[in-house]
Amino acid sequence: MIDTRQKPQDARGRLLLLRRIVQHVFLAIFLVLFIKTDYSGSDRLDAAVNILFRLDPFLAAAVVLGVKTFVALVLPSLVVILLTLVLGRVFCGWFCPMGTLLDLSQKLLPARDKKNRTYFPGLPLFLLVFALVAATCGFAVAGYLDPFSILVRGLAQALYPMLNSVTVGFFTFTYQQLPDFVNAFTEPVYGVLQDFVLPSGQKFFQLASFSLFMLLGVLLLEAVQRRFFCRNLCPLGAMLGLVGRKGMFAGHGGNEDCGACRVCSKNCRMGAIDEDRKIDMASCTFCSECVAKCPRQIISFGFSLAGGNELSQGSGVSLSRRKFVAAGLAGFLLPTVKGVEVLAKNPDPLLIRPPGALAESDFLRRCVRCAECIQVCLGNALQPALFQAGLDGMFSPMLVARTGYCEFNCTLCGQVCPTGAIRQLTMPEKHLLKIGHAWFDKDICLPFAKGISCMVCEEHCPTPDKAIRFKDVTIQRDNGQSITIRQPYVVDELCIGCGICEAKCPLPGRSAIYVTNAGEHRHPEKSLTTYAGYN
Q: What share of the chain is helix, strand, coil (3-state, %, to 5)?
A: 50, 10, 45
Among residues 33, 193, 220, 455, the one that binds other proteins under rule CB under 8 A: 455
Among residues 259, 464, 480, 509, the one that binds other proteins under rule CB under 8 A: 464
| Shortest distance, position 168 Cβ to other proteins, whole Å | 8
Candidates 156-164, 298-306, 345-353, 500-508 — which segment interacts with other proteins by CB under 8 A? 500-508
Interaction of residue 177 with other proteins, rule CB under 8 A: yes
The site map against other proteins for 33-72 (x = CB under 8 A) is ------x-x-------------------------------
Query: Please, which residue, 190 or 301, has the CB nearer to other proteins?
Result: 190
Q: CA–CA separation, 400 vs 205, rounded Å?
A: 10
Residues 378-417 that bind other proteins (CB under 8 A): 378-379, 407-410
Q: CA–CA separation, 523 vs 117, rounded Å?
A: 51
Whole-angstrom distance between the N-terminal and C-terminal Cα of the chain? Answer: 84
Query: Please, which residue, 195 or 257, has the CB nearer to other proteins?
Result: 195
**What single letter denotes the amino acid at residue 282?**
A
Among residues 178, 359, 432, 473, the one that binds other proteins under rule CB under 8 A: 178
Interaction of residue 453 with other proteins, rule CB under 8 A: yes
Q: CA–CA separation, 256 vs 35, rounded Å?
A: 51
Q: In the chain, how many H helices and how many E strands?
A: 25, 8
| Shortest distance, position 138 Cβ to other proteins, whole Å | 36
Give yes or no for a contact between 467 and 495, defined as CB atoms under 8 angstroms apart: yes
Candidates 9-17, 308-316, 339-347, 462-470 — which segment interacts with other proteins by CB under 8 A? 462-470
Query: Please, which residue, 277 or 466, has the CB nearer to other proteins?
Result: 466
Query: Please, which residue, 256 or 465, has the CB nearer to other proteins?
Result: 465
By CB atoms closer than 10 A (0-12, 13-18, 19+), residue 42 is exposed
Query: Please, which residue, 165 or 300, has the CB nearer to other proteins?
Result: 165
Interaction of residue 249 with other proteins, rule CB under 8 A: no
Give yes or no for a contact between 369 and 396, defined as CB atoms under 8 angstroms apart: yes
Among residues 252, 442, 486, 526, the one that binds other proteins under rule CB under 8 A: 486
Transcribe 201-258 into DSSP letters: S----TTHHHHHHHHHHHHHGGGTSTTHHHHHT-HHHHHHHHHHTT-SEEEE---GGG
- The whole-angstrom distance between residue 518's C-alpha and the CA centroid of its chain comes to 27
Candidates 131-139, 169-177, 275-283, 330-338 — which segment interacts with other proteins by CB under 8 A? 169-177
Handedness of CA 181, 185, 190, 195 (dihedral sign): positive
DSSP 367: -
By CB atoms closer than 10 A (0-12, 13-18, 19+), residue 481 is exposed
Candidates 17-25, 167-175, 212-220, 315-323 — which segment interacts with other proteins by CB under 8 A? 167-175
Judged by the rule CB under 8 A, the positions of this chain that interact with other proteins are: 39, 41, 168, 171-172, 175-179, 200-201, 378-379, 407-410, 446, 452-456, 458-460, 462-466, 470, 486, 504-506, 508
